[in-house]
Amino acid sequence: MGLHPSQILIGYEKATEKVLEILKDITSFELKDIRSVDEVAKCLTACISSKLLDYAPYFTKIIADACVKCTPKIAENFNTDYVRVTKIQGGNPLNSFVMNGLIVLRNAEGSIKHVDNPKIAVYGCPLNT
């Protein structure tokens, strides 16, 4: 249409400014405490409800709990990779729960299968499998 890419860029920048101006006036909820599970759950409700219709209230609370537990001291440094989901055979979605730490879905390869309060752990496999 004869427009130069820089003109299109200027149009997008103006549109961004206008959208940000409008969004300030139509905010429906503002998160005050990033460490509050209830407030984080309220923020997640719309997103989770669109994907998990029947289980939304249950999973919203679980996801909020997991996110709050994984939030670093400086909340702006939060990374979605801090929260992992693993599927264990059997059960149903309502058997889901939040577990602290690292979960490895493999059997031990040595003779020792269980140790209470270990000081060190040695893994002979990659942890991303």
Instruction: Give Cα 104 distance to the centre of its chain.
Output: 19
pTM score above 0.75: no
pLDDT at 103 over 80: no
For 4-31, write each residue's pLDDT tens digit.
999 999 999 999 999 999 988 887 888 8
Measured CA distances, 24 to 12, 19, 47, 76, 80 (Å): 19, 9, 20, 21, 26
Interhelix angle for 37-49 vs 56-70, to 10°? 130
Yes or no: say if 102 and 127 are a contact pair by the CB < 8 Å rule.
yes
Structural domain boundaries in the chain: 5-95
Tell me the mean pLDDT in the region 67-95: 85
- Residue 54's pLDDT is what? 87
Angle among Cα 43, 88, 80 to the nearest 5 degrees reads 35
